[in-house]
Structure 1
Amino acid sequence: MLTASTPRWSIDEVAAIYRTPVLELLLRAAEVHRRHHDPGEIQVCRLLSIKTGGCPEDCAYCPQSAHHKAAVESEPLMDVDAVVAEAERARRDGATRFCMGAAWREAKDDARFEQVLEMIRRIKAIGGLEVCTTLGMLTADQARRLKEAGLDAYNHNLDTSESFYGRIISTRTYEDRLDTLRHVREAGVSVCCGGILGMGESEGDRIALLHTLANLPEPPESVPINALVPVEGTPLAGRSRVDVWAMVRAIATARILMPTSMVRLSAGRLELSEAEQALCFLAGANSIFAGEKLLTTPNPEVDADRLLFERLGLRAREASPR
């Protein structure tokens, strides 16, 4: 069993990969990608906010926090039928993974959690869709119940390095996040866990985040790499756009460290040109989120993505047989 004393990768090894001259890094990552994945295939995912705003967490990047003054209206948990209809639409648009996010600090054992379980059961019955949720912190029993309902994956990002984490969030600890990841893994649910670039962290923080992810007892099957989308009314509203080369380096390093994982080009994609997105795909990203929104922030339209795929000679991953 992997322990803290037997990491797969040392911090120096991760740093050396991340700091490789960028063209060489791209080449190495592309070679790893081709050994483990079809380089012409991209998984299309859809992310829906099923409960928006009013979150008691104080994450500095998030417009859904009740601590901030962003122009996000709080909305109650969506009706099950409405969520299932969105999942069906996503399936028709070519998505093979449907993700549901609720602005909760933690899941509660109440009627709303039962409602989420019913959403999962109903969406799995559609066929052809992986189902992922992000509901905040989970207990071991909640993770087990999500698995029993048919949940494929659970998203719970570490966001940044442990040393920088306290600059971004004070309402829960890094260890809290690791505990939820452990509960999810022990329940037999696939782990989706990544981070956000551009929050004011150093290069060393980015390296440390990737080091932590790669050295979890089992690496995440899904690693979303997000660029900060600064939102007016949040503490990070004034941050400038993260450099595309930082995104490319993070994606390429993640691909080399976690060769079999899906590396997801996530938030901030609207700010990337087609050429910049192509670099990210070359670096090993093999999944995107489609649709007009990622929770509450803008995202490229489905038709724009179809055109991008055409230009690059990419195709959307097809649904697995039921």
Structure 2
Amino acid sequence: MADVRHNWTLEEISEIYHKPLMELVFEAATMHRKYHDPKEVQVSSLISIKTGGCPEDCAYCPQAARYHTDVKVHKLMEVEEVRAQAESAKANGASRMCLGAAWREVRDNKDFDKVLDMVKTVNSMDMEVCCTLGMVSEEQAKRLADAGLFAYNHNIDTSEAFYDDIISTREYDDRLKTIDNVRKAKISVCSGGIIGMGESAEDRMGMLLTLANMDQHPESVPVNALVPVEGTPLAEQPRVAAHELIRMIATARLVMPASVVRLSAGREGMSLTEQALCFMAGANSIFAGDKLLTTPNPDFNDDKEMFDLLGLQPREAFKEVKKETEVEA
């Protein structure tokens, strides 16, 4: 694990990020093969278990109550509905089910109890369960872990320097504190960010610097391209070019070689060839299913055809846990 470092400088990351694209992709592909099976891609599915009405002001998010978007507010789903969707996703090759709720933070109430039941239900199906519920305390994270939660998603979104341009209703340190609480509960961390919000290249590198210098790298690093939504402050932002996403994925792969790098939001607008270059550059996880919370995404059949054409295969659930168990045995 000599390539895994936690003491990167912005200058070092900049040197990687600004390499000629073909050279960068080659180096990232080489590193990817050192730490991962290049044929394997983790397939995750995402359910919006509680949609809309969020009190925060994240400029990219159509679920914020203060913005006028087409998103309809829906109360927390029932456990059996989540079970049915998880069964469908698993039948289509998903090994991880992510449950997302448009909350600022978790509250200790009946809704949280219901989410814990959802976690137990999906966990019993031999699927990895991930939640993204906003901020969590150390005790709440422990309750999620006790229920069988495998991973918790809490993106840092962007660099600390650009963060206040995007969100004012919580601090950057609040995000880092939630990640720390999740770590203390021994839950796998899923944390990345979004490009295309008007940030500079230095902001993109700054976001990677924060993640790469954590005491333990996030096990999963989602790289999202902004999907502009009418009614949000970022509605007029131009879509990110594919080469920018490829460059970001390749840089993430080189500074966090052992992490799973997820090609997340924005994939719906990419050609198969562009997605193939993302996989070449080190992406080894996707979201599958026709929606990512409230934005469009390629459906399962499209992804199956892409996997067949590119010679990719879905990664099995709990692979790292099983590997560790075999080593101990």
Partner residue in 2 for 1:97: 96
Give the Cα–Cα distance (whole angstroms) in 2 for the partners of residues 21 and 279 of structure 1.
Answer: 15
**Equivalent position to 1:242, from 231, 240, 243:** 240
Give the Cα–Cα distance (whole angstroms) in 2 for the partners of residues 184 and 103 of structure 1.
Answer: 18
Q: Which amino acid aligns with 2:13?
A: V
Residue 123 of structure 1 pairs with residue 117 of structure 2: no
Partner residue in 2 for 1:276: 274
Gaps of 5+ in 1: 1-5
Partner residue in 1 for 2:72: 73
**Equivalent position to 2:178, from 177, 180, 193:** 180
Partner residue in 2 for 1:41: 40
Partner residue in 1 for 2:200: 202
Partner residue in 2 for 1:62: 61
What pairs with 1:156-195 in structure 2 (closer than 5 Å)?
Answer: 156-195=154-193
- Residues 58-94 of structure 1 deviation map (CA, whole Å, 9 limit, x = unaligned): 0000000011101101000000110111111111111
Task: Decide whether the 8 Å contact of 2:128 with 2:318 is kept in 1.
Answer: no
Give the Cα–Cα distance (whole angstroms) in 2 for the partners of residues 172 and 139 of structure 1.
Answer: 15
Query: Which contiguous aligned blocks of 4+ residues in structure 1 show a shift greater than 2 angstroms?
Result: 318-322
TM-score by length of 1: 0.96
Give the Cα–Cα distance (whole angstroms) in 2 for the partners of residues 319 and 59 of structure 1.
Answer: 32
Partner residue in 1 for 2:302: 304
CA deviation after TM superposition for structure 1 residue 258, in Å: 0.7
Match of 2:261, SS state, is strand
CA deviation after TM superposition for structure 1 residue 317, in Å: 1.6
Give the Cα–Cα distance (whole angstroms) in 1 for the partners of residues 318 and 235 of structure 2.
Answer: 40
CA deviation after TM superposition for structure 1 residue 217, in Å: 1.5
Partner residue in 1 for 2:110: 111
Task: Decide whether the 8 Å contact of 2:52 with 2:73 is kept in 1.
Answer: yes
Give the Cα–Cα distance (whole angstroms) in 1 for the partners of residues 301 and 163 of structure 2.
Answer: 37
Instruction: Give the count of matched residue pairs.
Output: 316
Q: Which amino acid aligns with 1:99?
A: C
Partner residue in 2 for 1:83: 82
Match of 1:58, SS state, is coil
Partner residue in 2 for 1:23: 22
- Residues 263-296 of structure 1 deviation map (CA, whole Å, 9 limit, x = unaligned): 0000010011111001100000001100010000
Give the Cα–Cα distance (whole angstroms) in 1 for the partners of residues 194 and 164 of structure 2.
Answer: 14
Task: Decide whether the 8 Å contact of 2:193 with 2:207 is kept in 1.
Answer: yes
Partner residue in 1 for 2:216: 218
Give the Cα–Cα distance (whole angstroms) in 2 for the partners of residues 269 and 199 of structure 1.
Answer: 16
**Equivalent position to 2:253, from 248, 252, 255:** 255
Q: Which amino acid aligns with 1:36?
A: Y
Task: Decide whether the 8 Å contact of 2:51 with 2:73 is kept in 1.
Answer: yes
Gaps of 5+ in 2: 323-329
CA deviation after TM superposition for structure 1 residue 160, in Å: 0.3
**Equivalent position to 2:229, from 216, 228, 231:** 231
Q: Which amino acid aligns with 2:57?
A: D
Q: Which amino acid aligns with 1:30?
A: A
When the two chains are superposed, the root-mean-square deviation of aligned CA atoms in Å is 1.1
Match of 1:249, SS state, is helix
Q: Which amino acid aligns with 1:118?
A: D
Percent identity of equivalent pairs: 58
CA deviation after TM superposition for structure 1 residue 320, in Å: 4.9
CA deviation after TM superposition for structure 1 residue 318, in Å: 2.9
Give the Cα–Cα distance (whole angstroms) in 2 for the partners of residues 110 and 60 of structure 1.
Answer: 28
- Residues 96-115 of structure 1 deviation map (CA, whole Å, 9 limit, x = unaligned): 01000000000000000000
Q: Which amino acid aligns with 2:287?
A: F
CA deviation after TM superposition for structure 1 residue 7, in Å: 4.7
